[in-house]
Structure 1
C-alpha cells in the first residue's frame, strides 16, 4: 500500500485530485500539503474529504501539513502547487515564477523522499518537469509530467461525439508539448479497433478544428469558470493508478 502526497492541496486541482485518488485501492495514506498560513483550510479539507471517504467506504489515513519535510516516505508526490493561470495568459507566462517554486520544492523532496516518484502538474508542465528532474536529483524514471495526457482525453471526447460512439471505443494520442505545438497522431487513432482514416466518414472529420479546440480548451474553461479542475484531477488519478498498479499502460 502506498502513501500519496499532494503539494498545492489548497488549490482546486489539488483538492479534487485528492478526492479522485482516494478511489484507488492501492492508496493507504494521503498527505495534503499547502503553504504556511493555510492550516485551517487544510484542516477543513481533511474533514470534508474524510466525510466523503466514510460515505464511500474508503479507509485512507488522511493528514495535512505545511512542512515539506513531512513528505518523507511518500511513494508518489504530486506537485500541483504554483501560480495559477489567469484568463488571457498562456501557460508559458507562468514559467519563471513556477520554475523557481518547483526547483526549491524538488530540492527538498530529493532529500526527504529520495525513493519517491514525482508527478508534475504545475504549468508549464514540460518546463517544470525538466526543472524537477534537475533539482531533485532523481533518476528520470522517477519524474513524470502530466504532459499531453489530458489533451489526448480531450481529443478522445471530441472524436467520440463526432462519430456518436461511446468514448471507451476511441483510442487516440497527442504527443509533444502540452501547449500550442502539440501533435495529434491521427494514424494511431482507432474507433472500435478500426483505424480512423479507414472509416468512410473520415474525409469529413473537422480535424484541424478539433485540434484547435483541444489547444484552447484550457483557456476557454478558465475564461468561463476560472479554473480547470475536473479534467486534470481525473487525469492525475489515472496516472497514479497506472503507476501504483504497475499496469504497463502507455499514456500520452
Structure 2
C-alpha cells in the first residue's frame, strides 16, 4: 500500500510538534526539512525512536535537502521566525515573506502535486504569498488559522462550563490576528447554543481571551510562541486532506466573491478534502459580525499592500 508523504518545512517547535502529531495519527511518512544542519535530522531520529513504544509505523526523515521532499502529498510551511513578547504577528512580515516565497517556489519545483498548508505568521498574508509564489491553484494552498483559534475558543468554553472538551463546537472567522471574529452565535455545547448556558459578559470575556490567545502564550513563554495546539491543528487539516474526510473546518481560504471579498485569504468555514479547499461555505452574518469580518480582512489587505510597496 502506498504511504502518503508529508513534508514539514521548518523544524522548530511548531514544525517538530506537527511532525509528532502527524506521526501519532499515522497519516504517512514524514520529512522534516530545515536549513539548519543537524536539527531536523536529530529531531526526526528522536521522534522515530518513539515509534516502538508509542505504537506508530511511519518513517520520519530529517533533511536539509529539498530533493527529499520530492512528490510529497502535503507540504506544511512553518518556516520563519516566531513572535517574541511585544511583537505583533505583523512585525514578522518582511523577514517571513522572503522565507515563505522561497519555500513556495521549492514546493512547486519538487512537489508539484502537493496541497500546501501555511502556518507561518502573519498567516493570511503568508498564505497569499505562498499561493502567488507557488503558482498553484488557490484551493491547493490553505492557511491554518481557524482550527487553532476555534480550539482555543472551545477550550475556554469547556473550562467555563466544566464539561468535556469534545462536546464544544465553535467558529472563528477573519484574519489570524487580534481582529479575528469569534462567532459566539455559532458556538455550541452538546448541540446547545452556548448563549443559553453562559451569560453575555462571560461570553465577551471568552471571546476576548480567544482573540489574544496567542499573545497570552507569547507573554508567558517569553522566548517564542505556541506550538502544541498549532501542531495538533495542522494534523487535523492534514488528516482531512489525506483521508478525504470532507470536514467543515475554519481555515484561511482564498476568497473569490464570497462574503463580498475577492483575491484575498481570510478565515472562513470550508469543506476540506483531498483537493484541499473543496468549497468555501457562506454563512449568515449579522451586520456587526460582517463589519468585524470586513475590518479583519481590511487589515490583511493593508499588510499585503505594505509588502508589495517594499
Q: Name the TM-score class by shorter chain.
A: over 0.9
Aligned residue number for residue 5 of structure 2: 3
CA deviation digits over 1:25-45, x for unaligned, max 9?
A: 331x2111010xx33222221
3-state SS of paired residue (2:121): coil
TM-score normalised by structure 2 residue count: 0.76
Contact 2:182 2:211 in 1 (8 A): no
3-state SS of paired residue (2:117): strand
Asked if 1:218 is matched to 2:220, the reply is: no
Query: Where do residues 128-143 of structure 1 align in structure 2 (5 Å cutoff)?
Result: 128-143=126-141
CA deviation digits over 1:94-116, x for unaligned, max 9?
A: 11111111111111211211100
Aligned residue number for residue 227 of structure 2: 229
Aligned residue number for residue 26 of structure 1: 27
Query: Where do residues 11-50 of structure 1 align in structure 2 (5 Å cutoff)?
Result: 11-27=12-28, 29-35=29-35, 38-50=36-48
Q: How well do the aligned residues superpose, as a CA RMSD in angstroms? A: 1.4
Structure 1 unmatched runs, 5+: none
**Segment drifting more, 115-124 vs 68-77:** 68-77
Match of 1:62 among 34, 41, 60: 60
Number of equivalent positions = 246
Contact 1:132 1:143 in 2 (8 A): yes
TM-score normalised by structure 1 residue count: 0.93
Structure 2 CA distance for aligned equivalents of residues 151 and 182 of structure 1: 9
Contact 1:172 1:185 in 2 (8 A): yes
Structure 2 unmatched runs, 5+: 251-310
Match of 2:90 among 76, 89, 92: 92
CA deviation digits over 1:129-170, x for unaligned, max 9?
A: 000001101111111110221111111111111122111111
Contact 2:10 2:34 in 1 (8 A): yes
3-state SS of paired residue (1:22): helix
Structure 2 CA distance for aligned equivalents of residues 98 and 39 of structure 1: 20
Structure 2 CA distance for aligned equivalents of residues 59 and 171 of structure 1: 31
Asked if 1:77 is matched to 2:78, the reply is: no
Structure 1 CA distance for aligned equivalents of residues 152 and 59 of structure 2: 33
Structure 2 CA distance for aligned equivalents of residues 224 and 85 of structure 1: 12
CA deviation digits over 1:180-227, x for unaligned, max 9?
A: 221122222111112223x2x433551221122112221221221233
Aligned residue number for residue 208 of structure 1: 204
3-state SS of paired residue (2:79): coil
3-state SS of paired residue (1:88): coil
Structure 2 CA distance for aligned equivalents of residues 44 and 132 of structure 1: 28
3-state SS of paired residue (1:100): helix
Compute the displacement of 1:49 (Å). Answer: 0.7
Structure 1 CA distance for aligned equivalents of residues 159 and 143 of structure 2: 28
Compute the displacement of 1:16 (Å). Answer: 1.1
Contact 1:69 1:108 in 2 (8 A): no
Structure 1 CA distance for aligned equivalents of residues 193 and 214 of structure 2: 28
